[in-house]
Structure 1
Amino acid sequence: MKLLIGNRNYSSWSMRPWLVLAHFEIPFEDEVLLLSGDGWRETLAARSPTGKVPVLIDGALVVPETIAIIEYLADLYPDKPIWPADLQQRALARAASAEMHSAFLGLRGHAPMNLRANHAGKVSADAVGQDLHRVETLWGQLLARSGGPFLFGAFTAADAMFAPLATRIRTYGLPVSDTSTAYVEAIYGLPAFQEWLALALKEPWIVDDDEIDVIQGRVARGTLA
C-alpha cells in the first residue's frame, strides 16, 4: 500500500490520511510529489486521477480524496478504532470530519498550513474570527463530552481531519481558549504527528502560494530561501 502525498510542510490534506495510517500502525509507504517546481502539475496529473494529493494505491486500486481514503482504511481494518466504536459517537465524528472537509474556508485561505513557520500576528483575527468561533464551539462540545485529550477520547480519524487546522493556530498565534490550546498540544504530542513534523522540518522546498509573506505582498515570489 502506498500513499502519494505533497510537501509535508504545506500539504494539509496529505497529512490527514498519513496520520491515520501511521497512528494505527497500518503498513504503508509514502511518496512525495512536489507542489512546486518545473512540471509539478503535469507530474500530479500523471499520478493522480484528480491531479491532487493525497492518493492511496492498494494494488490495482487507486483512491483519491482524503475522506474516501480514510473510509477505505476503516473498512479494510475494522479491528482498528479509526472511528469511534459507538454508533452515535461515530456519527458525530463523521459529521465533524465532513464539516472540516467543506468549511473553515477563512482559516484555510488566510492562514495556510506552514509547519516550519512562526507567523504570529500576521493573520488578522477578524479575518478568521468566525471560523475560530465555530471550531472552538465544536471542539469544546466534543471535548466536554469525551473528557479528551482528543475529540472522542482516544485519537480517531476526526482528530486527523482537524490536525492541520490545529497547526494553523500555533503557526499564526491565533487567539483561542485554554481548551483549544490543550487540544492543539495533544495533536502536537501525538507520536505520529511528531514523525510527520520532523520530516516536514527537513524539507528544503518552498511553495510561494502557501507562504503568508508572499500572499500578503511582503516578499516577492521566488525570493524565500
Structure 2
Amino acid sequence: MKLLIGNRNYSTWSLRPWLVLRHFDIPFEDEVLQLSGPGWREAIAARSPTGKVPLLIDGELAVPETIAIIEYLADRFPDRAIWPADRERRALARAAAAEMHAGFTALRTHAPMNLRAAHPGKVDPEAVRKDLHRLEALWGGLLARSDGPYLFGEFTAADAMYAPVATRLRTYDLPVSDVAGRYVEAIYALPAFQEWLGLALQEAWVVDEDEIDVIQGRVKPGTLA
C-alpha cells in the first residue's frame, strides 16, 4: 500500500490520511510529489486521476480524496478503531469530519498550513473570527462529552481531519480558549504527528502560494529560501 502525498510542510490533505495510517499501525509507504517547481502539476496528473494528492494505491486500486481514503481504510482494517465504535459517536465523528472537509474557508484562505514557520500577528483574528468561534463550539462540545484529550477520547479519524487546523492556530498564534489550546497540544503530542512534523522540518522546498509573507505582499514570489 502506498500513499502519494504533497510537501509535508504545506499539504493539509496529505497529512490527514497519513496520520490515520501511521497512528493505527497500518503498513504503507509514502512518496512525496512536490507542489511547486517546473511541471509539478503535470507530474501529479501523470500519477493521480484527479491531478491532486493524496492518493492511496492498494494493488490495482487507486483511491483519491482524503475522506474516501479514510473510509476505505476503516473498511479495509475494521479491527482498527479509526472511527468510534459507538454508532452515535461514530455519526458525530463523521459529521465533524465532513464539516472540516467542506467548511472553515476563512482559515484555509487567510492562514495556510506552514509547519516550519511562526507568524504571530500576521493573520487578522477578525478575518477568521467566525471559523474560530465554530471551532470553539465544536471542539468544546465534543471534548466536554469525551473528557479528551481527543475529540472522542482516543484519537480517531475526526482528529486527523482537524490536525491541520490545530497547526494553523499555533503557527499564527490565533486567540483561542484554554480548552482549544489543550487540544492543539494533544495533536502535537501525538507520536504520528511528531514524526510528520520532524520530516516537514527537514524539507527545503518552498511553495509561495502557502507562504503568508508572499500572500500578503511582504516578499516577492521566488525569493524565499
TM-score bracket, shorter-length normalisation: over 0.9
Q: Residue by residue, what CA displacement relative to the aligned partner does 1:159-183 show, whole Å, maximum 9, x if unpaired?
A: 0000000000000000000000000
Q: Residue by residue, what CA displacement relative to the aligned partner does 1:43-65 show, whole Å, maximum 9, x if unpaired?
A: 01111111110000000000000
Corresponding position: 1:72 with 2:83:
no
User: Could you say which residue in structure 1 is the equivalent of 2:217?
Assistant: 217
User: Could you say which residue in structure 2 is the equivalent of 1:120?
Assistant: 120
User: Could you say which residue in structure 2 is the equivalent of 1:16?
Assistant: 16
Separation in 2 of the partners of 1:65 and 1:73?
Answer: 12
Partner secondary structure for residue 137 of structure 1: helix
Shift of 1:29: 0.1
Separation in 2 of the partners of 1:144 and 1:52?
Answer: 36
Unaligned ranges ≥5, structure 1: none
User: Could you say which residue in structure 1 is the equivalent of 2:165?
Assistant: 165
Q: Residue by residue, what CA displacement relative to the aligned partner does 1:104-141 show, whole Å, maximum 9, x if unpaired?
A: 00000000000000000000000000000001100000
Q: Root-mean-square deviation (CA), in Å?
A: 0.3
User: Could you say which residue in structure 2 is the equivalent of 1:105?
Assistant: 105
Separation in 2 of the partners of 1:194 and 1:209?
Answer: 25
- Which residue identity is paired with 1:76? R
Separation in 2 of the partners of 1:120 and 1:147?
Answer: 29
User: Could you say which residue in structure 2 is the equivalent of 1:37?
Assistant: 37
Separation in 2 of the partners of 1:145 and 1:48?
Answer: 39
Shift of 1:197: 0.1
- Which residue identity is paired with 1:139? W
- Which residue identity is paired with 1:211? E
User: Could you say which residue in structure 2 is the equivalent of 1:188?
Assistant: 188
Separation in 1 of the partners of 2:9 and 2:187?
Answer: 16
- For these two proteins, the number of residue pairs brought into alignment is 225
User: Could you say which residue in structure 1 is the equivalent of 2:50?
Assistant: 50
TM-score (norm 2): 1.00
TM-score (norm 1): 1.00
**Percent identity for Structure 1 against Structure 2:** 76
Q: Residue by residue, what CA displacement relative to the aligned partner does 1:84-108 show, whole Å, maximum 9, x if unpaired?
A: 0000000000000000000000000
